[in-house]
């Protein structure tokens, strides 16, 4: 099929690769404009742009789709289908209606659960043991279109959001390729979503990533996993932000003599890192990123900062 592909981050790259490998005609690739990145603040091309150029694809980087110019450009390309994966820009109805076969989207959840910008993160934060990927026919309402195909995926016990996204991106590439094949053959299924079951997965904010040490150990572990690698679960330590990248539950610890030790360092695991009291036990911090420093192991943090029992986090 003749396709215009729309995507921005690394998550979308495997799907672009798979469509090229399957022999589809990629008429053009749309991705977000180069954005300032890193300490230098220099503009950096998106992962999709870099791969599209490797494939010798024509690349467009509109700031939005309100202009008549980008609409004319897409109409002149005469695509049969738009394939959208983690693009990050809203597409109005007049754009969705350009291809004769419409527009499809790959979404990393089992819709209608977790509609929104951060479905993988919220699935882990909420303690789900499974999630999935879906392809849908796009509508103007976010993630609300008819489902074409879906695939259920187990969430591994210690898997972070970054690790799960990587797995889903590979599985999603295959699901999109199968979906495009069904559309080309004219027999793609359409299953309307049950609106009564819809749940939201909004964009993550800094406050969402702040650790409340009064929560249970498993809940804190889920938060850390769901916020890794970005935006990073965090707390305060010695008056500065401390990003917590990995923890392990330490359920054998309980409060001593009825005294609450929530948020305090209650032990030093010499082979792993500091043990911090929680609402129902403790966690061992096994990886951190102090403010202005590189990531380090929990043991490196313990030794490098000369931690002691009784110090408080948060």
pTM (two decimals): 0.94
Domains identified in the chain, total number: 2
Give residue 39's pLDDT. Answer: 75
Domain C-terminal end among 147, 167, 197: 197
Give residue 159's pLDDT. Answer: 97
Residues of the chain with pLDDT below 50 are: 258
Q: Are residues 65 and 108 in the same domain?
A: yes
Q: Are residues 66 and 102 in the same domain?
A: yes
Query: Is residue 219 helix, strand or coil?
Result: helix
Q: Are residues 77 and 151 in the same domain?
A: yes
Q: Are residues 49 and 108 in the same domain?
A: yes
CA 97/CA 247 separation, integer angstroms: 47
Give residue 256's pLDDT. Answer: 52
Q: Are residues 36 and 142 in the same domain?
A: yes
Query: Is 110 within the bounds of a domain?
Result: yes
Which whole-number Å values give the CA distances from 85 to 6, 108, 127, 168, in the listed order? 6, 10, 25, 12
Q: Are residues 250 and 189 in the same domain?
A: no
CA 285/CA 273 separation, integer angstroms: 6
Q: Are residues 82 and 178 in the same domain?
A: yes
Query: Is 226 within the bounds of a domain?
Result: yes
Query: Is 293 within the bounds of a domain?
Result: yes
**Other CB atoms within 10 Å distance of the CB of residue 95:** 22
Query: Is 309 within the bounds of a domain?
Result: no
Q: Are residues 192 and 210 in the same domain?
A: no
Q: Are residues 172 and 234 in the same domain?
A: no
Structural domain span for residue 253: 206-304
Q: Contact at 8 Å (CB) between 260 and 269?
A: no
Q: Contact at 8 Å (CB) between 225 and 159?
A: yes
Give residue 250's pLDDT. Answer: 83
Give residue 259's pLDDT. Answer: 55
Q: Are residues 183 and 240 in the same domain?
A: no
- Read off the CATH number of the domain in which 245 is found: 3.10.25.10
Q: Are residues 67 and 150 in the same domain?
A: yes
């Amino acid at each position: 099929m003749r396709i215009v592909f729309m995507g921005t981050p690394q998550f979308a790259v495997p799907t672009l690769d798979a469509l090229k490998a399957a022999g589809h005609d990629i008429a053009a690739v749309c991705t977000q404009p180069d954005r300032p990145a890193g300490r230098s603040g220099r503009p950096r091309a998106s992962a999709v742009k870099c791969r599209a150029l490797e494939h010798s694809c024509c690349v467009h980087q509109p700031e939005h789709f309100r202009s008549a110019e980008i609409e004319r450009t897409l109409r002149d390309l005469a695509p049969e289908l738009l394939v959208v994966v983690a693009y990050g820009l809203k597409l109005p109805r007049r754009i969705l209606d350009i291809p004769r076969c419409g527009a499809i989207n790959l979404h990393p959840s089992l819709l209608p659960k977790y509609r929104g910008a951060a479905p993988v993160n919220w699935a882990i934060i909420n303690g789900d043991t499974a999630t999935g990927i879906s392809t849908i026919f796009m509508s103007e309402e976010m993630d609300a279109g008819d489902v074409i195909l879906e695939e259920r995926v187990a969430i591994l016990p210690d898997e972070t959001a970054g690790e799960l996204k990587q797995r889903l991106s590979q599985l999603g590439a295959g699901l999109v390729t199968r979906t495009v094949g069904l559309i080309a053959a004219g027999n793609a299924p359409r299953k309307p979503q049950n609106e009564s079951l819809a749940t939201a997965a909004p964009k993550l904010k800094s406050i969402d990533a702040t650790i409340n040490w009064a929560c249970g150990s498993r809940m804190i572990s889920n938060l850390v996993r769901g916020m890794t690698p970005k935006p990073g679960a965090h707390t305060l330590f010695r008056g500065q932000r401390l990003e917590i990248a990995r923890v392990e539950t330490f359920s054998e610890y309980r409060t001593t003599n009825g005294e609450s030790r929530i948020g305090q360092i209650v032990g030093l695991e010499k082979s792993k890192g500091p043990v911090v009291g929680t609402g129902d036990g403790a966690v061992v911090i096994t990886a951190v990123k102090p403010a202005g420093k590189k990531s380090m192991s929990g043991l490196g943090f313990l030794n490098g900062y000369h931690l002691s029992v009784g110090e408080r986090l948060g």
